[in-house]
Structures are given as structure tokens and as C-alpha cells.
């Protein structure tokens, strides 16, 4: 196992975008600042997308401009086009992310573009963002399977990923959008990308835990040399355009596992789970995080306050 792993927190954006209960800007800001205070160094705070498509993130400008920013922390936001980039730039974002699928049908459903059209759009966005001094992260979704097409050929993953790197993305986050990936698939995909010339430091993994394989998949990725893991506080998440997709792997589940294996994250697990517990109350539902459930049960048994 690596001595240190970077956690890329996606809860404020990917986690909240599909929630039935829409949190206020104040709650979102409290969440983001709490995560940073707990030790999170890389965090995606919102998405500058048209509110008609993602109503839960309609307050993107308010959230992005009001958060208290700490030195040494990377704050990012998803942008779909040049208009979104302009808004992110006005909000003072220093990093943005672009998002597309390895499968043609998911691109049509999610961003209303073919793969070729999406690549052309993002080439403009990435070029302009870098000209403004921003760094750009690239998401490749449906890497291990598509809700519409089923299995996605490796060649499509390589094509989309290589294109995003060539246009200037510094890192690729490889997404298991519907949570169908298995450890052997993870090994196959990562080995293929590495043999094709993609560097380890250009890769991150992003797993949804729909079928309970996320932690196993992360372990395999780490053994192959990956050092960046995306996760969402409480296991929040689910893609509006991927039927059946459940939440992201929980940040506290990942941190607990990593600390148990001797990997440093710089994150305070007690503070993390306290944020998760409060979020469950704000969203009026039980969050899927397994560590949270175990922690709440332990606190109830021993009479310990939840913090």
C-alpha cells in the first residue's frame, strides 16, 4: 500500500446533485468548510450548470463566492461549456473539471452531445481555462459499464481519456458510474491505460458502491500505483442520467480502510463522521455510509455523544 493517498471529495457537487432534499447555500457552505477543517485538501464545491438541469446546485455562484478558502486547499467546480467557465472564473475558481462518458449513449443522455461534439466543446473550454491560469481535471464516466449500452470497450475509454489529456487536463478521474466494476476489470482498465502511455500521476479512481465492490476496487487500484481516490461524504450521490446508480463510495469508509492499512490521508475521521451524521439529519434520510452506521451504533451502545 502507498504511504499516502489523496482524497478528492466530491460530495458537495456529485453527492448533492441528485438529492431529493435541496440543501440551502448556508448548509452547503457549512459542509464544505467542515470538510476542509477536517483535513480534506481537494474538494469539488459545485457545478456551474444551467439550474434547469441541476436544480439542487442552482446556488453555485453564492456557494463558490461565500466559502472561506484555506491556503493549500484545491477548490474545484464542474463546468459544461464556455458559459459555465465564465461563471466559474467570476467566482474565483482556480480549478475546473469537465465531464463526459466513454459511451456514446450516455453522452447524448447526460450532456446532449455526441462524443465528438463533447470533445470539440471541451477542447475550447480547456484551452480557454488554461489561458486564464486555471487547472483542469477530466472525468471519464461509464468506464466499467453504461446503463444504456452495457459493457464499454476499453478502446472507447482510451480514446476519450487520451483526448482529455491531450487537450490539457492534468488528471483523469475514471468513473464507475453505475457501480458494476470488479477488481479484475479495474486491473484490466488501469493496466491498459498505463501500457498505452498514460502516467500513474494522471489517473484517479471514482467508484460508486451500487454492488458493494467499491472498496475492493480501490484496493486493487492502490496496489497498481494509483494515489488519488474520489469519494463523497456519507456515500452521497447518484447520477440523474444513469438509472439504478447509487451513491459514491463514502469518504469515511475509504478513510477508515486507508488508515487501517497504514496509509496517511491527513483527514480526521472523527470530524468527518460528525459531518456525515449532521448531513443525514439535514437531508432527512439515512446515509449509506457503513462507517457512519457503525459509529452511530457504537455511540448509542456506550452513551457517547455524536460530536
Determine contact, residues 218/183, Cβ cutoff 8 Å. no
Categorise residue 305: left if φ over 0, alpha if ψ from -120 to 50, beta otherwise. beta
Categorise residue 263: left if φ over 0, alpha if ψ from -120 to 50, beta otherwise. beta
Map residue 13 onto helix, strand or coil: helix
Determine contact, residues 28/16, Cβ cutoff 8 Å. yes
Strand partners, 95: 76, 135
Which 8-state DSSP code applies to residue 94?
Answer: S
Which residue is associated with the grid cell 464556455?
82
Upper half-sphere CA count for residue 294 (Cβ side, 13 Å): 7
Cell numbers at 198, concatenated: 498514460
Q: Is 41 exposed, middle or buried (0-12, 13-18, 19+ CB in 10 A)?
A: middle
Q: How far apart are the two ends of the chain, measured CA to CA in Å?
A: 31
Distances (CA, A) of 125 to 17, 44, 164, 233: 22, 18, 11, 29
Alpha-carbon span 23 to 19, nearest angstrom:
9
Map residue 76 onto helix, strand or coil: strand
Cell numbers at 307, concatenated: 460530536
Q: 72 CB contacts (<8 Å, ≥6 apart)?
A: 41
User: Is 299 an active-site residue?
Assistant: no
Instruction: Select which of 146, 169, 239, 263 is catalytic.
Output: 239
What is the set of active-site residues?
Answer: 239
Amino acid at each position: 500500500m502507498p504511504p499516502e493517498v489523496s482524497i478528492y471529495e466530491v460530495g458537495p457537487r456529485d453527492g448533492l446533485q441528485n438529492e431529493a432534499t435541496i440543501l440551502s447555500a448556508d448548509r452547503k457552505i457549512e459542509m464544505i468548510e467542515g470538510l476542509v477543517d477536517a483535513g480534506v485538501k481537494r474538494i469539488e464545491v459545485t457545478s456551474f450548470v444551467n439550474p434547469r438541469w441541476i436544480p439542487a446546485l442552482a446556488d453555485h455562484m453564492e456557494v463558490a463566492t461565500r466559502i472561506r478558502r484555506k491556503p493549500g486547499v484545491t477548490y474545484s467546480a464542474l463546468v459544461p461549456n464556455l458559459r459555465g467557465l465564465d461563471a466559474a472564473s467570476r467566482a474565483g475558481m482556480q480549478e475546473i473539471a469537465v465531464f463526459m462518458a466513454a459511451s456514446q449513449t450516455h453522452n447524448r443522455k447526460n450532456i446532449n452531445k455526441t462524443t465528438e461534439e463533447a470533445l470539440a466543446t471541451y477542447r475550447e473550454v480547456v484551452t480557454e481555462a488554461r489561458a486564464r491560469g486555471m487547472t483542469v481535471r477530466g472525468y471519464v464516466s461509464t468506464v466499467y459499464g453504461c446503463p444504456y449500452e452495457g459493457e464499454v470497450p476499453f478502446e472507447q475509454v482510451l480514446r476519450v481519456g487520451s483526448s482529455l489529456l491531450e487537450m490539457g487536463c492534468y488528471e483523469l478521474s475514471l468513473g464507475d458510474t453505475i457501480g458494476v466494476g470488479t477488481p479484475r476489470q479495474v486491473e484490466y482498465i488501469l493496466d491498459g491505460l498505463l501500457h498505452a502511455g498514460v502516467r500513474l500521476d494522471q489517473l484517479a479512481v471514482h467508484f460508486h458502491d451500487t454492488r458493494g465492490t467499491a472498496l475492493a476496487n480501490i484496493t486493487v487500484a492502490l496496489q497498481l500505483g494509483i494515489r488519488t481516490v474520489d469519494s463523497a461524504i456519507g456515500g452521497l450521490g447518484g447520477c440523474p442520467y444513469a438509472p439504478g446508480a447509487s451513491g459514491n463510495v463514502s469518504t469515511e469508509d475509504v478513510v477508515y480502510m486507508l488508515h487501517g492499512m497504514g496509509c496517511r490521508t491527513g483527514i480526521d475521521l472523527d470530524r468527518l463522521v460528525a459531518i456525515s451524521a449532521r448531513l443525514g439529519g439535514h437531508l432527512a434520510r439515512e446515509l449509506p455510509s457503513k462507517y457512519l452506521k457503525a459509529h452511530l451504533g457504537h455511540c448509542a451502545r456506550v452513551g457517547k455523544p455524536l460530536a
